[in-house]
Amino acid sequence: MDPYAKSKERKVGARRPKIRHVSHSVEPRTRRERQAEKQAVAAERRAIKKAARHHLKQQLLDELEENE
């Protein structure tokens, strides 16, 4: 900490006050709950992409069979 810093400039680095954009009463979830939700969303997106790839592959194979 800089001893010559102004009073507002002293709270920097690890000792700075944490800013919460949402009040604590609005969001009672823990970090693990938020992380689990984020992973679930990512898994769902992966599943959607996988299904879409499978569908497109099947569609392409059907089109190739029709042309032959």
Residue 60: which domain range?
A: 29-68
pLDDT of 66: 92
pLDDT at position 10 over 80: no
Tokens linked to 10: 């002293």
pLDDT of 18: 73
55 found inside a domain: yes
Given a contact cutoff of 8 angstroms between Cβ atoms, the answer to whether 22 and 29 are in contact is no
Model-level pTM? 0.53
pLDDT at position 2 over 70: no
Query: Does residue 58 or residue 21 have the better pLDDT?
Result: 58
CA 42/CA 6 separation, integer angstroms:
45
> Which alpha helices (DSSP H) does the chain contain, by range?
31-67
Q: What is the number of structural domains in the chain?
A: 1
CA 54/CA 48 separation, integer angstroms:
10
Unique residue bearing structure tokens 């769902």? 44
54 found inside a domain: yes
pLDDT tens-digit readout, 26-60: 667 888 999 999 999 999 999 999 999 999 999 99
